[in-house]
Amino acid sequence: MQSIAEIYAIDCKKILGEIAMGEAAPRAAAAAVQLSRPQGSSRPAGSSIIDNEAELTDIVVAAMAGAPSPRMREVMEALVRHLHAFAREVKLTEAEYDLGIATLNRIGQATHDSHNEGILFADILGFSTLCCLLNNGNAGATETAAALLGPFWRMHSPRTENGGSILRSPTPGPALFVNCRVLDPTGAPIEGVEMDIWHASPVGYYENQDPQQADMNLRGKFLTDAQGRFSFRSVKPAGYPVPTDGPAGDVLRAQNRHPYRPAHVHFLGYREGFKTLVTQVFVDDDERLDSDAVFGVTEHLVGDYRLHESGTPPAPDVTAPWYTLDYTFVMEPGEAKLPTPPIK
């Protein structure tokens, strides 16, 4: 079985290959790249020998101009120009450069089958949320139900009947009963959506972090019915600190930031003909709702986790207090594509 690192290496090669193919006809591999030189330069056009710092960026960009894909040229030119501009703006020292490279290396070394430091690092910089907002909700111009995937999604959670429990081992905490609908943009119900659910325990750990929990505890997959409904029973999740034993933790400590996420439940909706929905619904009374360490909270994603301290509970083995959550998701027509799981 392939490791997560191997899967990501394959995916990166595939994505890079797709970008490199592009929409345009391939250029001849041996096509000469004409490198311009500043006026007064002693070097001939086409030379990549550097005379001074000011001309370096243009020379690097010109060296990449032979890529046949317009998209690859666009992305890589912007990356190089912004990266070089960043170094110039902050007057990056060689020691800081070395620290940055070492941090990139440590991010890779800290990623393994049960933890993805790369995603976590992107999360704490707000980069994951930015990419999510740019690609959902009218390119970020309108409210969206989408949210970052996070580093704890596992692909093969157990299929569970509607109304069933996702507790796979004893998990103390107030019971939570969730009732949801999935609609299309016109308000029509969508039948047959596979909804993948996962969340942390009331003590703030996902089951792959906690030897006291059974494998796949607080995880489950459900199918929406003809009315677009699905429901399940769990326990109310707690907020938790993101892992801080790697580079992401070093950055948080250096910036005097806390590492906590407000409590939430993750949802991933998949059905052919619709854009895959990746989202979270946050607990509305969490004390850190306004200071999520990974900047994942939007107003649309704050749920109404309703406390019940009296009355008839939804199940005979439940005593007060318990919670209920009712929530409606909207899935847009588009490509159904599952993300690469960050952990096994």
Contacts 24+ apart (CB under 8 A), 55-63: 56/84, 57/81, 57/84, 59/35, 60/84, 62/33, 62/34, 62/35, 62/36, 63/33, 63/35
Q: What are phi and psi of 286, to 5 degrees?
A: -75, 135
Instruction: Quote the pLDDT of residue 20.
Output: 54
Instruction: Quote the pLDDT of residue 219.
Output: 98
Instruction: Quote the pLDDT of residue 1.
Output: 46
Secondary structure element (H or E) that encloses residue 199, with its range:
strand 194-199
Answer for the pair 198, 153: CB distance below 8 angstroms, yes or no: yes
Q: Residue length, the chain?
A: 344
Among 24-38, 136-150, 221-235, the range of highest mean pLDDT: 221-235
With a cut of 50, say whether residue 75 has pLDDT above it.
Answer: yes
- Mean pLDDT over all residues of the chain? 87
Among residues of the chain, what percentage have pLDDT more than 70?
Answer: 84
pLDDT band at 45 (very low <50, low <70, confident <90, very high): low
Instruction: Quote the pLDDT of residue 133.
Output: 86
Question: Distances from the Cα of 154 to the Cαs of 12, 54, 164, in angstroms?
Answer: 19, 47, 19
With a cut of 50, say whether residue 8 has pLDDT above it.
Answer: no
Give the angle subtended at the CA of 105 by the CAs of 102 and 106, to the nearest 5°.
85
With a cut of 60, say whether residue 28 has pLDDT above it.
Answer: no
The residue ranking higher by pLDDT, 341 or 285, is: 285
Secondary structure element (H or E) that encloses residue 265, with its range:
strand 264-270
Instruction: Quote the pLDDT of residue 145.
Output: 61
Instruction: Quote the pLDDT of residue 174.
Output: 96
With a cut of 50, say whether residue 3 has pLDDT above it.
Answer: no
Lowest pLDDT segment from 19-28, 197-206, 225-234: 19-28
Instruction: Quote the pLDDT of residue 135.
Output: 83
Mean pLDDT on 204-218: 94
Q: What are phi and psi of 60, to 5 degrees?
A: -65, -45
With a cut of 80, say whether residue 231 has pLDDT above it.
Answer: yes
User: CA 296, CA 1: separation in Å to the nearest integer?
Assistant: 32
Domain 142-330, CATH: 2.60.130.10
What distance lies between CA 177 and its chain's CA centroid?
A: 26
Instruction: Quote the pLDDT of residue 16.
Output: 53
Among residues of the chain, what percentage have pLDDT more than 90?
Answer: 74
Lowest pLDDT segment from 35-44, 67-76, 128-137: 35-44
User: CA 62, CA 30: separation in Å to the nearest integer?
Assistant: 15
Q: Tens of pLDDT along 132-184? A: 888 876 544 334 466 778 778 999 999 999 999 999 999 999 999 999 999 99
pLDDT band at 41 (very low <50, low <70, confident <90, very high): low
Mean pLDDT on 291-297: 95
